[in-house]
Structure 1
Amino acid sequence: MRANFRMQRLFIDAPLGPAAPHEVSSEQFNYLANVLRMEEGAEILVFNGREGEWKARLTFPSRKKIVLEAVEQTRPQPPASDLHYLFAPLKTGRLDYLVQKAVEMGAGLLQPVMTQHVQGKITSLERLQANAVEAAEQCGILSIPDVVAPKKLTDLLDRWPADRRIIFCDEGDEGQNPLPILSAIEERKLALLVGPEGGFSEEERNTLRSLSFVTAIPLGPRILRADTAAVAALAVIQSAIGDWR
């Protein structure tokens, strides 16, 4: 069922249902009452990542309080995406963009990876989670991806489950077309790995290419920035072997 983009959507971290009224946070109160200027009886769509999407009605028990009362479910909860997105952190502004676009493109888990040439760093997992929530609110997504703590690439590979294939964007690959490579992948548990602006080191490339659970792909004839490469790679994976088929 398609999302209704004519109504405002809001993520709430609370149970949803007719018998579960929810008082919004102070930030959400300010947004609904002062930015959107919603009044008593107005309706919005709410979701919590677990129980689908619901139409909810606003009530104002006091001048500084809004309570949401669920009216009816508008969409059931779909299965969460199982596509893991592994990325080298970028500088803050572009990192925000990268997280939002990854969520829009169907990432189900966000895993920062520290590589040898990484230029950015993760200062707040809460900020990454907030960007994921904002993307889900704006794009009609009902499942919020998990955001996990950064790991060194070597540690990640040492403990990687053999039944999940890593697709890594290899800027040194001499090919141009990733589609034949992707079409040959039989696994359906997948992870995408995109490196930093400086690319993977030669040691990292050699390690990745030596592992049986890793597949290297090119991304065409042009050099892409890391955040652009992420969107391009997610799109080609979803179209070739993902949920766009």
Structure 2
Amino acid sequence: MAGMSVPRRSGVLGVSVIASPRARSIAYSRFRPSPAQAFMNLARPIHEQFSVDRGAAHGQGWREGTEAGVARLRVFVEAGLVAGGRIALDARAQHYLRHVMRARTGDALILFNGQDGEWRASLELAGKARADAVLAECLRPQAPEPGPWLLAAALKRAPMDWLAEKACELGAALLWPVSTKRTVVDRVNVERLRTIAIEAAEQCQRLAVTEIHAPARLDAALGSWPMDRRLILCDETGASPPIAEALTRLDARPESLAILTGPEGGFEPGELDALRKLSFVTTVGLGP
């Protein structure tokens, strides 16, 4: 890793590992984090907490430590998964396998589609324009992944991308971008967020991908709200009980909860007052 810059990240060891080239970091040095920085590091996926030998990954270093028949390449597909089936991989999967991981015909794959569990397959490349996966056996049956919804005021591109990635990694069932009175973003690229959620699911071993809902105004989203789903309102004003205290009072399963976060400038006072009056809303504070 000579000649590469070493960005500093809070409280992370400067350790080098071989990992997926999708990881975006290179090397880290340890220094004392603030409490907020330490908390954020807990939410970082493992491939962001350590440095990556990108040259080894691109040079098929991942293959050297792969035992026969054990796949290191995990890919989401839309098609149904059945034993003996053959699936034509889409352009996104082909780019990842051909150009990022330098995969070859015969390499083992792991496929999932959010419905049929996780399957072992083998890769078949046909020229430059086609790649197929031939299914062998089911490795993990599909299991329920109960998770909360996340309603988030739309953010600018980079933080919204980050939010979609983390929502999937932390098990959210749905991400719903909403617009509030102080929201400054007027457009959300749903397809881009879906791609990010798919890639996050591929990396974190989830069997399901967080659904990305079409953006809506907050009042419209709440106008047809399912009354059996409790909405946790994140209140930055300090007027609400701490989140840990508030959640202990709720007798609710994760799949019956939703979380609402506001824009960079926070909710307007009138919005907060209106939200607090809704019977299905519980307000929580995020501070000490």
The aligned counterpart of 1:89 is 154
The aligned counterpart of 1:26 is 91
Q: Does 1:145 align with 2:210?
A: yes
Q: Does 1:208 align with 2:275?
A: yes
Distance 2:218 2:125 in 1: 50
Deviation at 1:6, TM superposition (A): 6.8
Distance 2:141 2:149 in 1: 23
| CA gap 1:162/1:26 in 2 versus in 1, 3 angstroms | closer
Please report the RMSD computed on the Cα atoms of aligned residues, expressed in angstroms: 1.8
1:1-21 Cα distance to aligned partner (Å, 9 max, x none): xxxx97121101101122320
The range that moved more, 176-185 or 131-140, is 176-185
Deviation at 1:81, TM superposition (A): 2.6
| CA gap 1:56/1:81 in 2 versus in 1, 3 angstroms | same
The aligned counterpart of 1:158 is 223
The aligned counterpart of 1:12 is 77
SS of residue matched to 1:41: coil
Deviation at 1:63, TM superposition (A): 4.7
Decide whether the 8 Å contact of 2:117 with 2:141 is kept in 1: yes
Distance 1:161 1:27 in 2: 35
The aligned counterpart of 2:259 is 192
Question: For 1:180, which of 230, 245, 248 is the aligned residue?
Answer: 245
One-letter code aligned to 2:145 = A
Moved over 3 A (4+): 61-64
Deviation at 1:176, TM superposition (A): 6.3
One-letter code aligned to 2:113 = N
Distance 2:125 2:71 in 1: 23
Decide whether the 8 Å contact of 1:169 with 1:193 is kept in 2: yes
One-letter code aligned to 1:149 = A
SS of residue matched to 2:103: coil
SS of residue matched to 1:144: coil
Which entry has the higher C-alpha Rg, 1 or 2? 2
SS of residue matched to 2:78: coil
SS of residue matched to 1:57: strand
Deviation at 1:134, TM superposition (A): 1.0
Distance 2:128 2:199 in 1: 26
Give the TM-score, by structure 2 length.
0.71
Deviation at 1:82, TM superposition (A): 3.8
Q: Does 1:169 align with 2:234?
A: yes
Decide whether the 8 Å contact of 1:90 with 1:121 is kept in 2: no
The aligned counterpart of 2:179 is 114
| CA gap 1:200/1:69 in 2 versus in 1, 3 angstroms | same
Could you tell me which runs of 5 or more consecutive residues in structure 1 were left unpaired when the two chains were aligned.
Answer: 222-245
Deviation at 1:108, TM superposition (A): 0.1
Deviation at 1:100, TM superposition (A): 0.5
Decide whether the 8 Å contact of 1:176 with 1:220 is kept in 2: no
Distance 1:27 1:207 in 2: 43
SS of residue matched to 2:166: helix
Could you tell me which runs of 5 or more consecutive residues in structure 2 were left unpaired when the two chains were aligned.
Answer: 1-69
| Relative contact order higher in (CA < 8 Å, ≥ 6 apart) | 1
Distance 1:155 1:118 in 2: 15
One-letter code aligned to 2:247 = L
Q: Does 1:71 align with 2:136?
A: yes
Distance 1:54 1:194 in 2: 36
Deviation at 1:44, TM superposition (A): 1.3
SS of residue matched to 1:9: strand
Decide whether the 8 Å contact of 1:117 with 1:200 is kept in 2: yes
One-letter code aligned to 2:194 = Q
Distance 2:170 2:93 in 1: 26
Distance 2:91 2:110 in 1: 18
